[in-house]
Amino acid sequence: MSKSKITNIIILIIICTSLIFISYTIFGRDVKIVLSKGSEHKGYEKYSEWLNKIDSKVDCIDLYDMSIQDAMKELEDSDGLLLTGGPDVHPSRYGKGWDTLRCEIDSHRDSLEFILIQKALEKKIPILGICRGEQILNVALGGTLIVDIEQDYDTMVVHRCTNPDTCFHEIKVLEGSLLHKLTGTSIAKVNSNHHQAVDKIAEGLSVSARTRDGLIEAFEWSTPDSKPFMLAVQWHPERLDENNPMSKPIGKYFVDKAKEYKKKK
């Protein structure tokens, strides 16, 4: 092959690569959603898989291994914050600092998420809290947690099983709530995988779902007017069957709110 042909091929490759990059930049991802932790093992990866199954153009960014400064930059450029599941919030954050032996604690995660929540609320970035994400949102806004459901809460409902993918419990969704509007159901089954839960709910929040034993399973703003979208659930929608009303409708609404936020920026 002559040198001129090789040169032309190289030029063509460069042009094509540039066009692909430009197309991706302009027409690529619809929204950017940051995850407080979204990697390390399969369980964490399910969050981005869930969102991408709902909308393949969602760009999911894991903040956990970044410095807090870099994580804040990513948040500033994002359209939504997903607070994922994981270890326990340090009990000193909600007035029970003596009770750490029953907790699995990640202090870096606590510090990161408290700052992310504060900034997201200031900038009115949509927030979805799942499992630990629900719990730390309640604490960040002034609420408290039950340190261990089995030991501290008198109930016959099983809230934690060896295999959470095969263990479920029933919840009641409160009529008039945003959650009820999204899911279209008053009774549903969700996965059981928790040893902690919301105790005293923070001021300004409203319970939107409970278990049969009265335990809080979801909350939202009491008066959402002028506030950013925020919904928090105890269960794992990313692990539920997509036909379960407690899964896809929640993720889709969150993504839609992220798109709305992007348009307003």
90 is catalytic: no
113 is catalytic: no
101 CB neighbour count, 10 Å cutoff = 6
Copy the structure tokens of residue 103: 């907790």
Scan for tokens 């929608």, then name that residue: 237
- Fill in the amino acid letter for 27: F
CA quadruple 35, 37, 41, 45: dihedral, nearest 10: -10
Q: Please pick, among 131, 169, 217, 220, the residue that the annotation labels catalytic.
A: 131
Report d(CA 22, CA 59) in Å as an integer. Answer: 17
3-state SS of 120-177 is HHHHCCCEEEECHHHHHHHHHCCCCEECCHHHHCCCCCCCECCCHHHCEEEEEECCCC
Residues known to be catalytic:
131, 236, 238
